[in-house]
Amino acid sequence: MTNATFTSLDKVLFKMKDVHAVCHLDSAVKEVMTEEEVTAKFQLTLRRNNVPLDEGSADVVHFGITGFFDATHALLCYGVNCTLSERQVIYRNGEFHSAMVTVWNQGSSSGTVGRINAHGALIAEAEKCAELFANDFLSANPKPQ
């Protein structure tokens, strides 16, 4: 392990054969869309970009949207995050431990959107994050020629 080469963030997904995609929404965000809609769009975008999906995969990509409405309930303040974590061994001063460590994180954003436009804007965020993940996944796992 001490001779491991350094890899950039876009290559940390190397040797992954498939992923399981999970989507989470805060209760405020669920007022304008469902987790099923977001999951369907996120997974469809991954499939369309040739990322193999398997619900039994140990590699789980998490997409989440947090948010809250302003006092008038007309403006949604939101945050978007997309990560992949995996179990890693951590060694310090002669002691080993394992932990879930985030190895990939892209597409994080935040903003505000009117309640009327929130559905479309947040679905677009899900698609954008799935495309970012697909790009890095495919870059790290090119198809044999």
List phi, psi (to 5°) of 8.
-80, 165
Question: Residue 4 domain-assigned?
Answer: no
**Domain for residue 125, yes or no?**
yes
Domain contains 66: yes
Residue 41 belongs to what domain range?
9-140
| Mean pLDDT to the nearest integer, 27-44 | 97
- For residue 91, is it within any domain? yes
Q: pTM of the entire structure?
A: 0.89
Listed range (15-29, 59-73, 97-111) with the worst mean pLDDT:
97-111
Q: Which of 85, 108, 110 is nearest to 98 (CA)?
A: 85
User: Side chain identity at 70, as an amino acid letter?
Assistant: D
- Domain contains 68: yes
Number of domain units in the chain: 1
Q: Computed over its alpha carbons, how large is the radius of gyration of the chain?
A: 17
| 100 is a domain residue | yes
Tell me the per-residue pLDDT of 47-100, one tens digit each, with 9 for 90 and over: 999 999 999 998 999 999 999 999 999 999 999 999 998 888 888 898 999 988
